[in-house]
Amino acid sequence: MIQTFFPSDRVARSLTLSTMAFALSSGVFYAVSTLYFTFVIGLGVTTVGLGLGIAGATGVLAAYGGGWLADRVGAHRVQAVATALNGVALLAYSFVSDAVAFTLIACLAVIMRSVGSSSKQAMLARWYLGPERVQVRARMRVVTNVFIGLGTGAAAAALLIGTAAAYRTAMLAAGILLLAAAVPLAGLGRRVPELAAGMTAVREQRTESTGPSPLRDRTYVASVACNAVVAMQFGLLTVGMPLWVATTDAPVAIVSVLLVLNTVAVAALQVRASRGTDDVRRAGLTVRRASWLLAIACGLYALAGHGSAIVACVLLVLAASAHTMGEILGEAGGWGMAFELADQRSAGAYQGLSQAGYAIAAMLSPILATTALQHGTGGWLGLAALFVLAGTGAAAVARHAASRTASRQDRLLTT
């Protein structure tokens, strides 16, 4: 935990400080944004949904573009600028008065968020090697979860006050925190000359031998597709599970308990679960195990709809536990495959494609979750089958890639 929150490495320290401020901002924003858009600005729920849907679509393209840009101008520079512009976009929400302005600002915010995410992945892929980069990524996720929780708790003050001024203040705070998140990243190349030198070497190498496009790498595209399907579990946790709980005999308040359980488990287990996933074959097996846990969770969620209040509560806790472990393992295996299957000559573009897969999952998962819930038990079983199919596919892709690498190495040794 000391290395997670107070890393000794200079790059990790800057990323951690930035992630803390970024996650605090996200927690505040998630808690008050919908009420701010509808209650303060006066936009309709349908308008907000449509605007955010359009913004989500632009974020998919921006995720790949951010990785492509990181290969050419330096991941540390791209991340710093994108984070700052994301903060500017959040501050600009204070001046929104109509649906068009709201949609445009939402697009800017989501685009910058996607670009920043891809450039962070590219920086990890460039600066760290093997197990270290997966471990640092896992630590970043722990920091993110903890500080999103803190930000959500801080936003409770605005929710309790419930006035337009309180919501506006919370939104301004979210924007200022994002600007603060850019500060540790600004000038990172000057503070860590080796990082700037490494990025310069990458650009010089690309002029001599341009790395391949990940879009032409069928193995990587298949890996991104499988892991994106598994990543749809996030929408199941944040949208599907709360809606389903409301249809059971369990008290709705248990949703908060389940989300707290998820946050605590991720903080305690994510780093440990990520160990060894720098091995491609093991990463694929980890994703497959995650898919089975998610399938079990779907079955338990379904059963919770057929029991008394006490039985439903017990089943929901068991389901959330399996779901959380599936989430932890799925993320760990997905990171390992995203890093290890990538061609380092185009690390940014590869990580951008990986993040585009997650962006697609985030965009489609609420639709998938709500559609499945409309079909009750059958819908849950369909989701379970989908997760198992995707996890099995990820393991097959990883096994194929590992076998191909081993065969290539044997041929080189024979030669």
- Counted residue by residue, the chain has a size of 415
pLDDT tens-digit readout, 138-197: 899 999 989 988 988 888 888 888 888 998 999 999 999 999 999 998 877 676 666 555
Structural domain including 394 reads 214-415
Same domain for 229 and 97: no
Same domain for 309 and 160: no
Tally of domains within the chain: 2
Same domain for 186 and 169: yes
Please state, in angstroms and as integers, the Cα–Cα distance from residue 407 to each residue in 99, 107, 221, 276, 404, following that order. 56, 45, 21, 22, 5
Same domain for 130 and 37: yes
What residues contact residue 409 under an 8 Å CB cut-off, 6+ apart? Answer: none
Mean pLDDT per block of 10 residues along the chain (415 residues) reads 80 90 91 85 84 87 90 87 95 90 93 93 84 88 90 86 90 95 84 60 50 87 96 86 88 85 89 91 96 97 91 95 96 94 88 92 86 89 96 96 76 60
Measured CA angle at 126 (ends 327, 233), to 5 deg = 15
Same domain for 163 and 282: no
Q: Give the tokens for residue 140.
A: 């970043």
Q: Give the tokens for residue 378.
A: 């059958």
Same domain for 204 and 243: no
Same domain for 198 and 221: no
Alpha-carbon gap, residue 166 to 28, rounded angstroms: 12
What was the pLDDT predicted at 162? Answer: 83
Measured CA angle at 177 (ends 172, 180), to 5 deg = 130
Residue-wise DSSP of 284-337? HHHHHHHHHHHHHHHHHHHHHTTS-HHHHHHHHHHHHHHHHHHHHHHHHHHHHH
pLDDT tens-digit readout, 322-361: 999 999 999 999 999 999 999 888 888 999 999 999 999 9
7: left (phi over 0), alpha (psi -120 to 50) or beta: beta
CATH number at residue 323: 1.20.1250.20
Residue recorded with tokens 């994703």: 287
Same domain for 333 and 297: yes
Burial 117-132 (b: 16+ CB within 10 A, else e): bbbbbbbbbbbbeebe
Same domain for 46 and 10: yes
* Cα atoms in the 13 Å half-sphere on the side-chain side of 18: 26
What was the pLDDT predicted at 209? Answer: 45
What was the pLDDT predicted at 100? Answer: 92
What was the pLDDT predicted at 192? Answer: 67
Give the end of a domain, one of 181, 210, 239: 210
| pTM of the predicted protein model | 0.83
Q: Give the tokens for residue 400.
A: 């194929």
**Where is 142: in which H helix or E strand?**
helix 130-161
Please state, in angstroms and as integers, the Cα–Cα distance from residue 296 to each residue in 175, 387, 392, following that order. 39, 10, 15
